[in-house]
Amino acid sequence: MTDRKNYMYKSWWKITSVILLLYTFTAGLLLEVPRLPALQETIRNLYFHVCMWFAMMILFTISVVNAIRYLRGFNIKHDIIARQYAVAGIVFGLLGYITGAIWASYTWADPNKPALNSFSTIARDPKLIGAAIALLVYFAYLILRDSIQDMDKKARISAVYNIFAYAMLFPAIWILPRILPSLHPGNEGNPALDVKNDISGNMRMVFYPAVIGWTLLGVWITTLKIRMSLLKEKNML
């Protein structure tokens, strides 16, 4: 089972992740950023908050790929992989949500209105509601899984549900928030990926490595959990 050729046991991409994250944390705080009103220095959150969502999307994609692989061959290993990637995706999604809430409370809140008023405006934002729906769908995935005792049934049903949950991501976080007016940037196109008029070249120099670094860290933690689950599985059989 522990074939050394598997990516999980290689160290080069783990080292890459550490280097890219160290670069993100230093260059992200020290390099010049565009001076924009209201955003000010908080624009640096792009290297942290936005990367959480990128990492979440990539982890969920790996999860759904493994769910499909499970349905093709009924190998329990793929089910374990799909589950752990989904959990890691949820963790990154929650971190993205929390960091977004902190960021928004400083940049979106209207200082001329009472705090409760601005809160109700922010809470009504379609991007936030969409992200909340997407995360809740994935919470339901975990609840569904853990409520089934039979191992094969559990794996099969949750693999099918995983595909539905992934499909739900698209209306919830990609389509609906872009149709409706939102305070969140990126309504006109791809947030943070718009080369022409979104973020400056200086910021992209940190942003892209940051996305890769954070994603690799998420993958790293997930592979540790997968290896633990595989060990447990081995001991049980």
Partner 1 sequence: MNSVKKIMLLLVMLLITLTSQAQEKVEMADTMRSNGRIYVVVAVVVTILLGLILYVVRLDRKISKLEKGN
Q: In the complex, what is the shortest distance from the CB of residue 35 to partner 1, in angstroms, rounded to a whole number?
A: 4
CA dihedral (211, 217, 220, 224) in degrees, to 10, reads: -140
Residues in 189-218 that interact with partner 1 by CB under 8 A = 217
Residues in 16-45 that interact with partner 1 by CB under 8 A = 18, 21-22, 25-26, 29-30, 35-37, 40-41
Query: From CA 186, how far away is CA 22, in angstroms rounded?
Result: 27
Nearer to partner 1, 175 or 231 (CB): 231
Among 107, 119, 220, 233, interactor with partner 1 by CB under 8 A: 220
Nearer to partner 1, 26 or 190 (CB): 26
Tokens 């809160």 belong to 119
Nearer to partner 1, 37 or 114 (CB): 37
Nearer to partner 1, 153 or 234 (CB): 234
Q: Is 234 in the site for partner 1 (CB under 8 A)?
A: yes
Nearer to partner 1, 41 or 194 (CB): 41
Q: In the complex, what is the shortest distance from the CB of residue 209 to partner 1, in angstroms, rounded to a whole number?
A: 14
Among 9, 13, 139, 174, interactor with partner 1 by CB under 8 A: 9
Asked whether the beta carbons of 84 and 225 are under 8 A apart, the reply is: yes
Q: In the complex, what is the shortest distance from the CB of residue 237 to partner 1, in angstroms, rounded to a whole number?
A: 12
In DSSP notation, the chain reads ---TTSGGG--HHHHHHHHHHHHHHHHHHHS-----TTTGGGGGGGGTHHHHHHHHHHHHHHHHHHHHHHHHH--HHHHHHHHHHHHHHHHHHHHHHHHHHHHHHHHTS-TTS-HHHHHHHHHT-HHHHHHHHHHHHHHHHHHHHHT--SHHHHHHHHHHHHHHHHHHHIIIIIIHHHHS--SSS-SSS-TTT-TTTTS-HHHHHHHHHHHHHHHHHHHHHHHHHHHHHHHHHHHH-
Sole window of 108-116, 120-128, 129-137, 223-231 interacting with partner 1 (rule: CB under 8 A): 223-231
Nearer to partner 1, 175 or 228 (CB): 228
Q: In the complex, what is the shortest distance from the CB of residue 231 to partner 1, in angstroms, rounded to a whole number?
A: 6
Q: Which residues bind partner 1 (CB under 8 A)?
A: 2, 9, 14, 18, 21-22, 25-26, 29-30, 35-37, 40-41, 217, 220-221, 224, 227-228, 231, 234-235
